[in-house]
Amino acid sequence: MCWRGCCRWCASVASRVARTLLGLALLAAPLQAAVPSWSVEPGASAIAFTATWLGKPVHGLFKRWTADIAFDPAALEASRVSVSIDLTSAVSGESTVDGALPESDWFAVKSGPTARFTSTSIAKTATGYIAHGTLTLRGRAVPVDLPFTLAITGDRATMQGSAKLDRRSWKIGLESDATAEYVAFAVPVAIKVSAKRKP
């Protein structure tokens, strides 16, 4: 084959490859566009936590947080969620706990006032769904799995989920309470989200 013929052959192959890639991109675009976005209804939603302090449960919640949600049970591969939590908004009603949480050994709000959970994938389970993701807190990104249930009626959705976090994963409280003498390592987190489908 002459060099000129080879060039024509290469150009033909490149053209076919380009058309194939374009076709795949056009097929994928409607799939992503079809996944609906959801607006959180703050009054009916909550992110709560339970710390065990001196052997007794202390219940708290975050008063300020936002979520970016795109979810479709029929398109889980394109679904995603991202949650930003204002750590300065944590309240429990227990003055000692609330006074300690903002400090550098605990939430360290002066150096990082926001915690973020970002999903990497969402899968169906026997009892609902599970969001695999990363929770970034105190500058440390740690993998977290969040099992949840979901009910969708029309343009409304209600989600409930829970996870048990270990404060050692983010080096929380290790200077003042490294042996869990006062505060247990395990911190259950419960999430309830009511949302409306965006037009």
Predicted confidence (pLDDT) per residue in 72-118, tens digit: 999 999 999 999 999 999 999 999 999 999 999 999 999 999 999 99
Domain that holds residue 1: 1-34
Number of domains in the chain: 2
Residue 14 pLDDT greater than 90, yes or no: no
41 and 16 share one domain: no
Map the chain to HEC letters: CCHHHHHHHHHHHHHHHHHHHHHHHHHHHHHHHHCCEEEECHHHCEEEEEEEECCEEEEEEECCEEEEEECCCCCHHHCEEEEEEEHHHEECCCHHHHHHCCCCCCCCCCCCCEEEEEEEEEEECCCCEEEEEEEEECCEEEEEEEEEEEEEECCEEEEEEEEEEEHHHHCCCCCCCCCCCCECCEEEEEEEEEEEECC
97 and 14 share one domain: no
107 and 184 share one domain: yes
Compute the average pLDDT of residues 160-171.
98
12 and 59 share one domain: no
82 and 178 share one domain: yes
pLDDT of amino acid 34: 80
65 and 85 share one domain: yes
